[in-house]
Amino acid sequence: MNFETTLRVRYAETDKMGYVYYGNYAMYYEVGRVDMLRQMGTSYRQLEESGVMMPVVHMECNYKRPAKYDDLLTIKTEVLHFTGTRVEFKYEVSNESGQLLNIGRTTLVFIDSETYKPCKSPDWFTELILTHFPMN
Amino acid sequence: MNFETTLRVRYAETDKMGYVYYGNYAMYYEVGRVDMLRQMGTSYRQLEESGVMMPVVHMECNYKRPAKYDDLLTIKTEVLHFTGTRVEFKYEVSNESGQLLNIGRTTLVFIDSETYKPCKSPDWFTELILTHFPMN
Amino acid sequence: MNFETTLRVRYAETDKMGYVYYGNYAMYYEVGRVDMLRQMGTSYRQLEESGVMMPVVHMECNYKRPAKYDDLLTIKTEVLHFTGTRVEFKYEVSNESGQLLNIGRTTLVFIDSETYKPCKSPDWFTELILTHFPMN
Amino acid sequence: MNFETTLRVRYAETDKMGYVYYGNYAMYYEVGRVDMLRQMGTSYRQLEESGVMMPVVHMECNYKRPAKYDDLLTIKTEVLHFTGTRVEFKYEVSNESGQLLNIGRTTLVFIDSETYKPCKSPDWFTELILTHFPMN
């Protein structure tokens, strides 16, 4: 199952090479996964308000073609793995011509906002993820 | 009295025009004023740890010449006004050739970190600022 | 005459105060004015491709209330002044509750992309702006 | 052989979690590798001026501990692989207490600035890298 969101490349996000700065894809991944949660009926803000934070512990980015200023990008997000204590997301970024520009993966863990210790995914969140991405 | 700090322009801070993106000067001003406090013997972190935050309520930027990638910039910072509840800083950004590139001003207020209400400058901070920038 | 666009605050745009970093409003203004041009039937990219760049020479920002993570912001953009060689834009940023958070103004000039010298606004661009914002 | 550079975490680089936003490490890696070139007696700017650009084609980041506001970070940079058409860098980011916070790797390729096609590393650059990082 896939979720898609679109965003337009800002001038601020380009660099003197004329393309999107390579560090900005992490932000695009954020937009993709946050919008996936919204499309599922919740939000990352809601998760944080329930006392859980999800820091990123690993990221991998493959840059295939450059994204350019003013490009309307589509970010396709999916959950690759879910263990109850960590989630691995995959992102595919493509442009309006359908060209695949970038593929990324991030692993996030659950942290208790008060103790700053690792914790388990809240039950409602686990159920939500597994409904859309049944793991085997 | 003036305080100076230097920084080198990062690729991430440029845009496709080949210059520093106009929104990034606010960050350079931050570097200037934070380093001024450090040179005075304190730090903005210390101020926050004492229970006070200083959000910006006003900013003005004049862009005279563009800063370029890899330029070594000097930021000259001074306090223009101090009233006990707000501080106005002025910044002059120049390059290695001594060319003046940018002039900015920001006004910051004091906020109690717990109540999120405006408050007065801590006495020790007031004294520190007035020692270096006596107001008349 | 006014033009409106919306954007959602990204985690990347917040700072440890929990609000949008004060330097990021310049980027929001960019989104507002670029989207205004698109709503008028052109784009800033098209302007650049015709050989003209529009660097910012002045900016002023008034921070009234903080924007928070995940807020859906509305940016209302208008042209205050147009002289044929420079344009002054005004921006009003508000949240979903209709609270006015931030007011900004930027002045941009026209630069020839080849000579890097100031130039006049292309006729078609002048006409487009004056159609929507008749100056007296 | 290792090269080290230091930088101080800016408020702009933190997010509402109170730590450095995960996407900003790419920028820290940039600072590390650019400073490595400077310590070798050249600069990335010089490389670009000679007609070669080095876009990133792959990045991997491991987040071990969070970097905090105002932390003085050390970035240790080394070249892991060099083939004449691509370079793999490794970065270790640690704080003043010597705690290892982040490990990253990026692969960059050589692109001709005029044709935008892949090219070989300029001879002088190859020699410079191999002098400091002899490959076997």
Scanning every residue of chain A, which has its alpha carbon at the shortest distance from the alpha carbon of D109?
A63
3-state SS track over A20-34? ECHHHHHHHHHHHHH
Model pTM above 0.80: yes
CB B133 within 8 A of CB B79: yes
The pair of structure tokens assigned to D60 is 């991997």
Q: Would you say residue A136 has pLDDT above 70?
A: no
d(C-alpha A129, C-alpha D14), whole Å: 28
CATH code at B125?
3.10.129.10
Q: Would you say residue C1 has pLDDT above 90?
A: no
B102-135 residue pLDDT tens: 999 999 999 999 999 999 999 999 999 999 999 8
d(C-alpha C108, C-alpha C82), whole Å: 10
Instruction: Tell me what the mean pLDDT of segment C20-41 comes to.
Output: 98
Residue B45: helix, strand or coil by DSSP? helix
| CB atoms D30 and B10 under 8 Å | yes
Q: State the Cα angle at A21 between D121 and C8, rounded to 5°.
A: 170
**What pLDDT is stored for residue D9 in this prediction?**
98
Give residue D2's pLDDT band: very low, low, confident or very high (50, 70, 90). confident
DSSP state of A127: H
D67 lies in which domain range?
Answer: 3-132
Instruction: Tell me what the mean pLDDT of segment C65-91 comes to.
Output: 97
**What pLDDT is stored for residue D135 in this prediction?**
84
The backbone torsions φ and ψ at residue A26, rounded to the nearest 5 degrees and listed phi first, read: -55, -40
C57-68 residue pLDDT tens: 999 999 999 999
Q: Would you say residue D1 has pLDDT above 90?
A: no
A98-117 residue pLDDT tens: 999 999 999 999 999 999 99
A12-65 residue pLDDT tens: 999 999 999 999 999 999 999 999 999 999 999 999 999 999 999 999 999 999
Query: Is D46 buried (19+), middle (13-18) or exposed (0-12) by CB count in 10 A?
Result: middle
DSSP state of D114: T
Instruction: Tell me what the mean pLDDT of segment C80-107 comes to.
Output: 97
DSSP string, chain C: --EEEEEE--GGGB-TTSBB-GGGHHHHHHHHHHHHHHHTT--HHHHHHTTEE--EEEEEEEE-S--BTT-EEEEEEEEEEE-SSEEEEEEEEE-TT--EEEEEEEEEE-EETTT--B-PPPHHHHHHHHHHS---
Residue D22: helix, strand or coil by DSSP? helix
Locus of tokens 């006070």: B52
Average pLDDT of every residue of chain C: 96
The pair of structure tokens assigned to B13 is 């801070």
CB-CB neighbors (< 8 A) of B21 in chain A = 11-12
Nearest to D17 among A21, A26, A55 (CB): A55
| Long-range contacts (CB closer than 8 Å, 24 or more residues apart) made by C37-42 | C39/C3, C39/C5, C40/C3, C40/C128, C40/C129, C40/C132, C41/C128, C42/C125, C42/C128
Chain D residues with CB under 8 Å of a chain B CB are 10-12, 26-27, 30-31, 34, 43-45, 69-70
CB B65 within 8 A of CB B99: yes
Locus of tokens 């009295």: B1
d(C-alpha B90, C-alpha C33), whole Å: 28
Query: In whole angstroms, how large is the CA radius of gyration of chain B?
Result: 16
Chain B residues with CB under 8 Å of a chain C CB are 17, 19, 21-27, 30, 53, 55-63, 66, 106
Q: Which of D6, D9, D11, D50 to mutate to test the interface with B (most CBs of B within 10 A)?
A: D11
Average pLDDT of every residue of chain D: 96
B104: closest CA of chain C, how far (Å)? 9
B35-57 residue pLDDT tens: 999 999 999 999 999 999 999 99
CB-CB neighbors (< 8 A) of A21 in chain B = 11-12
Q: Would you say residue D136 has pLDDT above 70?
A: no
Residue A63: helix, strand or coil by DSSP? strand
Total structural domains in chain D? 1
**What pLDDT is stored for residue B118 in this prediction?**
97
The pair of structure tokens assigned to B98 is 């001594």
d(C-alpha A63, C-alpha D58), whole Å: 6
| CB atoms B70 and D43 under 8 Å | yes
Distances, alpha carbon B81 to alpha carbons A1, B27, B114, in Å: 58, 21, 26
Q: Would you say residue C136 has pLDDT above 70?
A: no
**What pLDDT is stored for residue C2 in this prediction?**
80
B45-93 residue pLDDT tens: 999 999 999 999 999 999 999 999 999 999 999 999 999 999 999 999 9
Locus of tokens 């229970």: B51
State the greatest distance between any 2 C-alpha atoms of chain D, in Å, as a whole number: 47
Chain B residues with CB under 8 Å of a chain A CB are 11-12, 14-19, 21, 23, 69
